[in-house]
Chain A
Amino acid sequence: MRALLPVLLAVLPFGMVYGAVAVQKGLTTAEALGFSGAIFAGASQLAALELMGIGAPIWSILLTVFALNFRHVLYSASISRHLGGFSPVQKALAFFLLVDPLFGSAEVRAAQRRLTPTFYFTYGVTLYCSWLLATLAGASFGRLIEDPDAFGLDFVLPVYFLGLVMSFRRRASFYPVAGTSLVVSVIAYWLAGPPWHVSLGGLAGIAVAAVIGPPKRQAGRETRRGVAS
Chain B
Amino acid sequence: MNGEPLLSEGAWSVGSIWFIILAAGALTYVTRFGGHILIQLLGTIPPRASAALDAVPAAVMTAIVAPVLVSGDWAERVAIVVCTVLSFRLPLIVVVVIGTVMVAAARALLT
The residues of A with any CB-CB pair to B shorter than 8 Å are 2-3, 5-6, 9, 24-27, 31, 34-35, 37-41, 44, 48, 52-53, 55, 58, 61-62, 65-66, 69-81, 83, 91-92, 95-96, 98, 100, 103-104, 107-108, 143, 149-153, 155-156, 158-169, 171-174, 177-178, 180-182, 184-186, 189-190, 194, 197-210, 212-215, 218, 221
Q: Which residue of A lies closest to B85 (CB)?
A: A166
A159 pairs with B79, CB closer than 8 A: yes
Complex Cα distance, B58 from A177, in Å, reads 7
How many chain B residues sit at the interface, stated as a range, is 35 or more
- How many residue pairs at the A-B interface have CB separations less than 8 Å? 308
- Please, what's the 1-or-0 string for B1-18, where 1 marks a CB less than 8 Å from any CB in chain A? 111111111011000111
Complex Cα distance, B21 from A109, in Å, reads 32
Pick the residue among B17, B38, B62, B93 that contacts A73 (CB under 8 A): B38
Q: Which residue of B lies closest to A200 (CB)?
A: B63
B4 surroundings in chain A (CB, below 8 A): 26
Complex Cα distance, B64 from A161, in Å, reads 8
A92 surroundings in chain B (CB, below 8 A): 33
B58 surroundings in chain A (CB, below 8 A): 165, 168, 171, 174, 177-178, 181, 205
B84 pairs with A162, CB closer than 8 A: yes
B5 surroundings in chain A (CB, below 8 A): 25-26
Pick the residue among A40, A79, A165, A184 that contacts B28 (CB under 8 A): A40
The residues of B with any CB-CB pair to A shorter than 8 Å are 1-9, 11-12, 16-36, 38-40, 45, 47-72, 76, 79-80, 83-84, 87-88, 92-93, 95-97, 99-104, 107-108
Query: Given contacts A96-B29, A204-B59, A206-B52, is CB(A91)–CB(B36) below 8 Å?
Result: yes
Could you show 11 A-B contacts with beta carbons less than 8 Å apart?
A53-B3, A58-B19, A73-B38, A75-B35, A149-B107, A152-B103, A155-B100, A158-B65, A159-B99, A174-B58, A177-B59
Query: Given contacts A2-B93, A78-B56, A205-B63, is CB(A95)–CB(B51) below 8 Å?
Result: no
Q: Output the least CB separation between A125 and chain B (Å).
A: 15
Q: Which residue of B lies closest to A215 (CB)?
A: B51
Complex Cα distance, B58 from A113, in Å, reads 18
